[in-house]
Amino acid sequence: MERAPITVHPPSPSGGRRVTARGQILGLAHSDADVVEFLRRAGLEDAESFLDDPMWVSWRGGRAHEYSAA
């Protein structure tokens, strides 16, 4: 099975989560709105609909939609 092309990495100690698409860093997200904007800039117009789709987005090292370090 192929991996999801978008990865939302674990929260950093200072807050926020790095977002990558196929290994390329898109930015540091502090909210779902940031992730959606990064994906929109990368060419995914309906990015909001992909956030909860594991075929598109892999949330690693923390709960989905949470951006603060524990």
Token pair, residue 9, equals: 């990495």
Token pair, residue 65, equals: 């939609």
Rounded Cα–Cα distance for residues 11 and 16 (Å):
5
What 3-state class would DSSP assign to 10?
strand
The predicted pLDDT at position 63 comes to 94
Full-model pTM: 0.92
pLDDT over 70 (residue 62): yes
Q: What are 1-33's pLDDT values in tens digits?
A: 568 999 999 999 999 999 999 999 999 999 999
Token pair, residue 21, equals: 């698409």
The predicted pLDDT at position 2 comes to 65
Q: What are 29-60's pLDDT values in tens digits?
A: 999 999 999 999 999 889 999 999 999 999 99
